[in-house]
Amino acid sequence: MASSTTTTTLSDLPDVILSTISSLVSDSRARNSLSLVSHKFLALERSTRSHLTLRGNARDLSLVPGCFRSVSHLDLSFLSPWGHTLLASLPLDHQSLLALRLKICFPSVESLNVYSRSPTSLELLLPQWPRIRHIKLLRWHQRASQIPLGGDFVPIFEHCCGFLESLDLSAFYHWTEDLPPVLLRYADVAARLLRLDLLTASFTEGYKSSEIVSITKSCPNLREFRVACTFDPRYFEFVGDETLSAVATNCPSLTLLHMVDTASLANPRAIPGTEAGDSAVTAGTLIEVFSGLPNLEELVLDVGKNVNHSGVALEALNSKCKKLRALKLGQFQGVCSATDWGRLDGVALCGGLQSLSIKNSEDLTDMGLVAVGRGCCKLTKFEIQGCENVTVKGLRTMVTLRRMTLTDVRISCCKNLDTTSSLKAIEPICDRIKKLHIDCVWSGSEEEVKEKLETSETNHQDDDDDDDDYERSLKRCKYSSEAEHCSTSDGNGFFSEERVWEKLEYLSLWISVGEFLTPLPMTGLDDCPNLEEIRIKIEGDCRGKRRPAEPEFGLSCLALYPKLSKMKLDCGDTIGFALTAPPMQMDLSLWERFFLTGIGSLSLSELDYWPPQDRDVNQRSLSLPGAGLLQECLTLRKLFIHGTAHEHFMNFLLRIPNLRDVQLRADYYPAPENDMSTEMRVGSCSRFEDQLNSRNIID
């Protein structure tokens, strides 16, 4: 008799176990792939999905399926047409019916993201889910003057009074005087808040000192607090010692505190220099604040004005806040003096840090960086910005000391660290680093860059031989047990073999307008076999610049990265003439052609694109050359244009065969109220989406 054998597959597991396995898969792409295995897996994926972002046109909400019953985090902020009041174009009775339909389809919602032009959207939606715990509001348009003071927030505190724990206003333009009265009026709800995010980038002055004191007094149980404010003593009600002390006193349970000057938000790459002036924040008060926040795990203080002699306060931070894991300091002076090799000081004593960012520290030297590398032995993420006394030697030694832990490095605005120097500094971790940001600052032409590289590899000369203290520190580093990997493969201190960035998955680049990207591979970033995503920010004023010597920016040089599939190309801070340019200059359409030429040679599946802008007319629009070049990206699946466009320009994109998701998002302040410069209005968006969705997608 022949024996029959049976094969057990994953589908044979009991539904309870399969459901548990499916619920543990959090990545959206992985869940989508899981749902394609079989009908059983499709049903399991739908029944266990907890996060869902709705795309498509708001008029089609009645077609939303009712199979995602376990969704607890619902995002409605990306519905088309983007930036319009949800359901506002429908009759009132239809609006109520659609809101009820959303409740029936998603009965378990506890977290909601919504674009709120006016409070009417919240009045419709929030009564459907009285158990909401987290709300994120988005609005890049100006606040309507007819909305009463606090009117944007009253529906939240009226309808979510029993369970609200978190409120995120980081992408919501509002008046700072709107929130404090509402928190006072609904004191019981405010007292239950655990997370409050007021780090709104569109502010010009931010929250005043008295408003921050009032908010923290109304929300004594906050665990996370982010706020945009003004530390400049020249401004009325600036933030200083008294405000910081009040925050620590009113919210002693804080585990996360971010306080960022609005000037830093508006211009994050600004280097104030010697004329910056001093803030009203003193080291003594910082010590008191740290003593009052023993549970602090993440701290960001980007002051924008000098905080002098901060080393003593940072030493206290280590002893008072033993749970601290992430720290960002902006304009702090004296963070690590490193005057004595045998003794660590300042931030170098914070040995538990896993993430450290030092910005615009004028007196930070190579010795200080080496001390940070010795003391902060758990660092996985390190960022340095605007530190003009740091050189490639100090940063390289620090990176070498932390070779076994560092996987994420950001280097920007450092005078002595151009592209080539930055890459040499992080060369010891080229086989481990996963995320990297550098500035594309070339020290000469492409030929000069190549010649400089060859010279440095064969005959590197020491420009700092007179720095005896630094040389002695390097020798101690070499022979200490802390720096097992400090020695390099040649006598010049640089690896002689070719660099392979084996684990690099994400690359971020900043480049000044008018410069070229083509020298990038020659700086040592030519071998990145696993690079999947790149972000390029082009910044500067085109006005007054002549036509570039070459016809293209150099995107085609990125074709050497075999796995590159996602790109964010940000030209949003590139300023020029949207209309007719003066003689011998180029308008923005020609600059856009310069930037985008060659993008069709890349095998991109996702692209976020910020067109250049003309601030005088508040126009950030896709031009005809831009649309024509984008249509050459034949592998694109998703395309998000952060600006406006003419409808007939958008129709060019229909020639991309497998393009499935396209959206215009004016997510910059102030977003145009009535877009008269282009044809992309509500009807135009709907017509384009209808054409896009009617096409037959191969897969």
Three-state SS for 172? strand
In contact, 170 and 140? CB cutoff 8 Å: no
**What distance in Å separates the CA atoms of residue 547 and residue 533, rounded to the nearest whole number?**
30
- DSSP three-state, residue 124: helix
- Residue 268 is given by DSSP the state T
The whole-number average pLDDT for the span 481-491 is 39
Q: Are 229 and 235 in contact (CB under 8 A)?
A: no
**How far is it, in rounded angstroms, from Cα 555 to Cα 301?**
36
Sort 302 into a burial class: Cβ within 10 Å, 0-12 / 13-18 / 19+. buried
| Residue pair 418/441 in contact by the 8 Å Cβ criterion | yes
Q: Mean pLDDT score of the chain, rounded to an integer?
A: 87
Query: pLDDT category, 495, cuts 50, 70, 90?
Result: very low
Mean pLDDT score, 310-333: 95
Closest by CA to 433, choosing from 385, 386, 501, is 501
Q: Which two tokens stand for residue 105?
A: 């389809």
Largest CA distance in the chain: 96
CA angle (134, 138, 140) in 5-degree steps: 165
Contact 440, 515 (CB under 8 A): yes
Q: Is the pLDDT confidence value at 170 over 50?
A: yes
Cα separation, 31 vs 41, whole angstroms: 10
For the record, the structure tokens of 404 come out as 């076994």
Task: Give me the mean pLDDT over the 44-63 stretch.
Answer: 85
Q: Give yes or no for residue 183 having a pLDDT over 90.
A: yes
Cα angle 553, 559, 563; round to 5: 135
Q: Tell which wins on pLDDT, 398 or 461.
A: 398
Q: Please give the residue that has the higher pLDDT: either 212 or 461.
A: 212
Residue 652 pLDDT > 80 = yes
pLDDT tens-place string over residues 270-310: 877 656 788 999 999 999 999 999 999 999 999 989 999 99
Tokens of 414: 């450092």
Q: How confident is the model at residue 460 (pLDDT cuts 50, 70, 90)?
A: very low
Q: pTM of this prediction?
A: 0.89
Q: Which two tokens stand for residue 179?
A: 């929130």
Is the pLDDT at 567 greater than 70? The verdict is yes
Work out the angle between the directed axes of helices 468-479 and 392-401 (0-180°, nearest 10). 20
Q: What is the pLDDT of residues 659-691, one digit of tens each?
A: 999 999 989 888 887 655 556 677 888 889 889
Asked which of 272-276, 580-584, 641-645 is least confident by mean pLDDT, the reply is 272-276
pLDDT digits (tens, 9 = 90+) for 15-45: 778 777 777 787 777 777 777 777 778 888 8
Find out whether 203 and 236 touch, Cβ atoms under 8 Å. Answer: no
| pLDDT band at residue 133 using 50, 70 and 90 as cut-offs | very high
Q: Which of the given ranges, 38-47, 79-88, 334-343, 352-361, has the highest pLDDT on average?
A: 352-361
Beta carbons within 10 angstroms of residue 455's beta carbon = 11
* DSSP one-letter string for 551-576: S--SGGGGGG-TT--EEEEEEEEEE-
Closest CA to 360 of 392, 389, 330: 330
H-helix or E-strand spanning residue 600: none
CA pair distance 450, 454, nearest whole angstrom: 6
Is residue 355 predicted with pLDDT exceeding 70?
Answer: yes
- pLDDT confidence bin for 369, thresholds 50/70/90: very high
Q: How many angstroms separate the Cα of 368 from the Cα of each of 362, 393, 401?
A: 12, 12, 13
- How much is the pLDDT for 569? 98
pLDDT band at 466 (very low <50, low <70, confident <90, very high): very low
Indicate the angle between helix axes 283-292 and 311-320, nearest 10 degrees.
Answer: 10
Q: Binning pLDDT at 50, 70 and 90, where does residue 611 land?
A: very high
Sign of CA pseudo-dihedral 113, 115, 121, 122: positive
pLDDT score at 446: 47
Residue 402's pLDDT band, with cuts at 50, 70 and 90, is very high
Q: Is 80 exceeded by the pLDDT of residue 87?
A: no
Number of H helices, E strands in the chain: 22, 22
- Higher pLDDT: 490 or 33? It is 33
Q: How is residue 548 annotated by DSSP?
A: P
216 Cβ neighbours under 8 A, 6+ residues apart: 222, 225, 246, 247, 250, 251
353 confidence band (pLDDT: 50, 70, 90): very high
Going from the C-alpha of 327 to that of each of 139, 330, 388, the distances in angstroms are 29, 10, 20
Q: Which of 100-114, 171-185, 577-591 has the lowest mean pLDDT?
A: 577-591
- The two structure tokens encoding residue 655: 């020639």
Q: Say whether pLDDT at 388 is over 70.
A: yes
Mean predicted confidence (pLDDT) in 546-572: 95
